[in-house]
Amino acid sequence: METFYLSIPYLFCTVDQKINIHETAFVTAAFRAGDTTLSMDRFAHLWADPIITKHAMRYSNSVSAYEGYAHCLRNRYFYDTLKELISKENIEVLINFGCGFSMYPFFLDASLHYIEIDTVDVIAYKKEKTEAWQKEGLLPERKITFLEANFNAVSLQDLYKKLAVIKAAQRSFILLEGVLFFLGKSDTNRLFHLFNQLQGPEEFLASVSFQPQLEKQAVFKKLIDFVEGNLEKNQQFVYQTVPDSFYKDISTYTLVDHQDSFSLSEQYKPEKKLPFEEILNEHMYLLRKN
């Protein structure tokens, strides 16, 4: 497999070249840059370049023309949710699992501690670029800890030990956004076990996933076709969808909010009519530890 540094210039150059899972994070960043008034991610454009934007367009054309819009809605929902909880609930640390190139640290409160977790390639690249942009004055200074992890690992105990020390008693918000589709069931269970170990009462956990019902729709089949043709998958890859019951049945957490692309669109752009069949409907779950 090519290294991340090598693959960036080349990956979007030919349509034949498959991309790695971690490189999907460029596409979501490009989507968020498409409507910053809605997404509120005013730094997403830093990741974009014409080749990445072209790839995002190719994905939109193949799967759904509404994917850019849906990603802006998702970012906006977490932006608004986090802002409110930070002010009301005294959140002290945001731990973003599979952070990709999302930019929450830079458009949220400077008082927070941000823990950014992703694959070795994403973390190395994100750290290098954000530090360079901070030096240039393009990004504000923030307290950020970058951590490398592989959620497919047979044990997450090393990651847990590191996080337990860094997080300590701080009140946390854990975010798992755009990741579960790429993971298997046992990886997912291990991650949620880690979340439960790490968090104390009244702390928050947000997760994004597709519901199994979506698998029957043509738009999901288009996604699978696109992934099959364009993504370099790993052994654990199963196109995971997750039923509501997974979240409702976690005995140590209470589901306090549940949104999807349709409800968010109704909230932020009520005038916009969404064609049901063309929406790759994502669900956002907000849980609070009991």
Interacting residues toward ligand SAM by CB under 6 A: 21-22, 24-25, 28, 98-100, 102, 118-119, 122, 149-152, 177-179, 182
Q: Which is nearer to ligand SAM, 68 or 178 (CB)?
A: 178
- Chain-centre distance of CA 74, in angstroms? 9
Q: Which is nearer to ligand SAM, 79 or 270 (CB)?
A: 79
State the minimum distance, in angstroms, from the CB of residue 278 to ligand SAM: 20
Q: Which residues contact 50 (CB under 8 A, 6 or more apart)?
A: none
Q: Which is nearer to ligand SAM, 177 or 203 (CB)?
A: 177
Q: What's the rounded Cα separation, in Å, for the pair 252 and 249?
A: 9
Tokens 């910053």 sit on residue: 36
State the minimum distance, in angstroms, from the CB of residue 89 to ligand SAM: 22
Tokens 């994403």 sit on residue: 122
CA angle 221, 227, 229 (to 5 degrees): 105
Q: What's the rounded Cα separation, in Å, for the pair 65 and 127?
A: 31
Q: b or e along 21-53 (b: 16 or more beta carbons within 10 Å of the residue's beta carbon)? A: bbbbbbbbbbbbbbbbebbbbebbbbbbeeebb
CA 130, 151, 81, 172 dihedral sign is negative
State the minimum distance, in angstroms, from the CB of residue 216 to ligand SAM: 23
State the minimum distance, in angstroms, from the CB of residue 4 to ligand SAM: 10
State which H helix or E strand residue 277 sits in: none
The residue whose Cβ lies closest to ligand SAM is 100
CA 232, 238, 244, 246 dihedral sign is negative
Q: Which is nearer to ligand SAM, 150 or 252 (CB)?
A: 150
Instruction: Work out the number of other CB atoms within 10 angstroms of the CB of residue 120.
Output: 13
State the minimum distance, in angstroms, from the CB of residue 240 to ligand SAM: 11
**Contact, 145 vs 116, CB < 8 A?**
yes
State the minimum distance, in angstroms, from the CB of residue 273 to ligand SAM: 26
**Contact, 270 vs 57, CB < 8 A?**
no
Q: Which is nearer to ligand SAM, 78 or 253 (CB)?
A: 78
Q: Which is nearer to ligand SAM, 161 or 248 (CB)?
A: 161
Q: Which is nearer to ligand SAM, 153 or 168 (CB)?
A: 153
State the minimum distance, in angstroms, from the CB of residue 68 to ligand SAM: 13
Report which residue type is found at 19: I
Beta bridge partners of 286: 206, 257
Q: Which is nearer to ligand SAM, 92 or 177 (CB)?
A: 177
State the minimum distance, in angstroms, from the CB of residue 224 to ligand SAM: 15
